[in-house]
Amino acid sequence: MSDHFSEGRYFNPWGTSARGLMDVLRWKLERGAKPWPATVVDPPPPPLPDLVQEQLGATFLGHASLLLRLPGLTVITDPVFSKRASPLSWIGPARVRSAAFGPNQLPKLDAVLVSHNHYDHLDLPSLRALAAKGARTAITPLGNGRWLKAAGFPEVIELDWWQSTEVAGGRVTLTPAQHWSSRTPFDRNRALWGGFRLDAGGRSAFFPGDTGYGPHFAMIRERLGPVDLAALPIGAYEPRWFMASMHMNPEDAVKAHGDLGAVASAAMHWGTFRLTDEGIEDPPKALAAERERAGLDPGSFRVLAHGETWVR
């Protein structure tokens, strides 16, 4: 029994759904996409800092990939190191900047978190590389486990919204998100999507995966409490008539920051893959304007450089 599953498919219980084929065709015909550079070369990132005592660290690896380190618990979110977010190596959205750290440069992982099955979030070559390096545990929403088992993880944990599992002395809770799923034309919404709330050593972090803005952020705070650090998506949002229900823009992200009661938030899901129509630098510029409009301290919602670690 579930408020987000019916007749073999998952859905958003708040009445929102992804756009259909005719909307996709309209978007492609009307596209006013801003140009992106073919390549962005970032300065080499500094080494990952050591954390002490009760510190919390978030390292932005690119797109939706973050290394999150809580006391006693180290995880990576939606790892994508491949050149393309695609089932094929020769076509599909190509990354304009490299991942800040590769699989062999990461510390020992207690868990790999995969929020949903879109190719820019569930990348099989990247998952295989992490499993080969020794990552044993993968956590994902219902219906995605077969991909992670195929990638070689000995322990795959599938969760429904609000379910939790214990890892390395910490707790990982799957939270609601407003999105959709598909890896082929035939499996739309057959697997669930979601975010992750992490609690370990008295510290907390939140990663929402892909999501539109909705009432679920306030629900997460009500059920799980405020969060020390949230990673919130700010990119892939234009045109709004097409993207608003499934992808937040910077204005939405600022509202989500408040709804979550986040002490601090880090921006993600921007500047790596050209997926929608906004320019590559539009999301951080728009976030700065929204922060000022909302009266937020710029230090409370930051845009991290690729490879930068924010220690809290």
Secondary structure of residue 220 in the 3-state scheme: helix
Contacts of 228 (CB under 8 A, 6+ apart): 56, 203, 204, 205, 262, 263, 264, 312
For residue 1, pLDDT over 70 is answered with: no
How confident is the model over 200-235, as pLDDT tens digits? 999 999 999 999 999 999 999 999 999 999 999 999
Q: What is the mean pLDDT of residues 34-61?
A: 96
| The token pair that represents 111 in the structure block | 């868990």
Question: What is the per-residue pLDDT across 96-146, written as a single tens digit (0 to 9) for each?
Answer: 999 999 999 999 999 999 999 999 999 999 999 999 999 999 999 999 999
User: What does the block give as tokens for 161?
Assistant: 């919204």
Phi–psi pair at 242, nearest 5 degrees: -95, -40
Look at residue 88 and tell me whether its pLDDT is greater than 70. Answer: yes
Residues 153-200 have pLDDT tens digits of: 999 999 999 999 999 999 999 999 999 999 998 999 999 999 999 999
Kindly indicate whether the domain formed by 54-311 is annotated with CATH number 3.60.15.10. Answer: yes
pTM of the model: 0.96
Mean local confidence (pLDDT), 288-302:
97
Give the whole-number percent of the chain exceeding pLDDT 90. 92
pLDDT, mean of residues 276-280: 97
* Residue 27's pLDDT band (cuts 50, 70, 90): confident
